[in-house]
Amino acid sequence: MGKATGFKEHDRVAARYRNAVDRIADFKEIYTDHDTPRLTAQASRCMDCGVPFCQSADMVHGRSGCPIHNLIPEWNDLVYRGHWRDALDRLHKTNNFPEFTGRVCPAPCEGSCVLGITDPPVTIKNIEMAIIDRGFAEGWVLPRPPPSRTGKRVAVVGSGPAGLAAAAQLNQAGHNVTVYERADRIGGLLMYGIPNMKLDKTVVERRVDLLREEGVAFVTNADIGAEQNGTPSAQDLLAETDALLLATGATHPNNLPIPGRELRGVHFAMEFLTANTKSLLDSNHADRAYIDAKDKNVIVIGGGDTGTDCIGTAMRHGCKTLANFEIVPEPPPDRAGDNPWPTWPFLYRVDYGHEEAAAKFNRDPRVYRTSAVEFRGDDDRVTSLVAADFETADGRFAKVEGSEKSWDADLVLLAMGFRGPEHYVSEALGIELDARSNYKANKGAYRTSHPKVFAAGDCRSGQSLVVRAINEGREVASAMDRALMGTAAIAVPA
């Protein structure tokens, strides 16, 4: 695959982002234009591996390879040879939405690249994004309605990556699919959980429009289980359909119940991100219906993608200062002994938000081994917090006594992950939960304790990646098709 000596001839050169200082002035995507000669050279670095670990998911503790089994060596070879249309066909074989994963996936495939044992891995994510973007630019991505219909009706609750992937697959099998979304726009996490500069919403809407043309029906402002006027109840959906899929995501955030938590100005990350994107799309922020970080001392508690997105959004608002507390130690620059290839490498990385904060404030915003222990304020509004150092003892985080320090804080954003799904839908349906409060359904079968109800994505597995949600959406569609028809017309890699 690729050029036999390509990995010897070319160093890894990843696509650059737009200049950090320039891009914080707007909410346009951070990416630069695709450079075909660079991409051809990078694709040539793909080795003729005996076993392509990049596309072989979940081999070690579920933290390696591509969860949707993308045919990475094949489309790398095709890009190297200039066969972009064929590369797109191979990419769509396993991935319904490469324009999403090419932008937001952390690329576990690159962590498992065989070349990565001794050299920097192939720029797989860049190549994936370039293939699908070229496909849209050339007019190669077109709606493909199914040739016939089965007469079976399926309802999907939730329009995030799992729900959309399942809807796409079930529709292709000929079932009549309706997707219900409680927000005012389709996309779930893709629409309101990921900010515009990382995933422009025209990219999401473009794919949703294709699904509409293929025959998928969408209903917005439909909060199933909340018993709203004009919205079908969960029991109504059960009665009206042949199968029901819950793909509601893990939307119940982890809290930080310390003194002062009730003060105004302390928000969950998704409150901040959702309001920002909705106001941006509704009025380009003219309606002021968002949580503004302008001229404020901002502290983000918690790392990961959500924490970085909060940093990037606050930077674009024009925050006065910014700090990001992470309770974990600073990751090492190279793999530790207990983190061998091909598992996901836990390394020190500089993401787009960190780069932007460093460009403006001349320092990385992250403060490791640190968390807040008290919020303080005046007139019911936060003005500062007390933070302390933490160390790990017996697998738990313990505060270091005497390490407390006061920080100015006008806006605090809690980006500490999610516990699982909200339960009003499961309660209305009477389905069982697992020990972690997720909807109980075994991977592979995806059937809940109710025979007509299936569950997939973060609401079943717990908080995870967009690419894993797409994987579960594809797999549950195959399981549902088999349950409806006795055999599955939808094949998914094992």
Q: Which residues of 80-100 are buried (b: 16+ CB within 10 A; e: fewer)?
A: beeebebbbbbbbebbbbbbb
One-letter identity of residue 239? A
Q: Are 306 and 351 in contact (CB under 8 A)?
A: no
Phi, psi of 246 (to 5 degrees): -95, 120
Q: Cβ contacts of residue 8 below 8 Å, gap of 6+?
A: none
* Helix or strand holding residue 137 (H, E): helix 124-137
Q: Which residues of 376-403 are buried (b: 16+ CB within 10 A; e: fewer)?
A: ebeeeebebbbbbbbeeeeeeeeeeeee
Question: Exposed, middle or buried: residue 362 (CB in 10 Å: 0-12, 13-18, 19+)?
Answer: exposed
Rounded-to-integer distance, Cα 329 and Cα 302, Å: 12
Rounded-to-integer distance, Cα 264 and Cα 410, Å: 9
Q: Strand pairing of 176-180 and 153-157?
A: parallel
Q: Are 207 and 188 in contact (CB under 8 A)?
A: no
Q: Report H helices in 299-382.
A: 304-317, 352-361
pLDDT in tens, the chain (494 residues): 568 899 999 999 999 999 999 999 999 999 999 999 999 999 999 998 888 999 986 554 556 799 999 999 999 999 999 999 999 999 999 999 999 999 999 999 999 999 999 999 999 999 999 999 999 999 999 999 999 999 999 999 999 999 999 999 999 999 999 999 999 999 999 999 999 999 999 999 999 999 999 999 999 999 999 888 789 999 999 999 999 999 999 999 999 999 999 999 999 999 999 999 999 999 999 999 999 999 999 999 999 999 999 999 999 999 999 999 999 999 999 999 999 999 899 999 999 999 999 999 999 999 999 999 999 999 999 999 999 999 998 889 999 999 999 999 999 999 999 999 999 999 999 999 999 999 999 999 999 999 999 999 999 999 999 999 999 999 999 999 999 998 766 666 54
Domains and their CATH numbers in the chain: 6-137 (1.10.1060.10), 153-251+419-485 (3.50.50.60), 255-416 (3.50.50.60)
Q: How many residues does the chain have?
A: 494
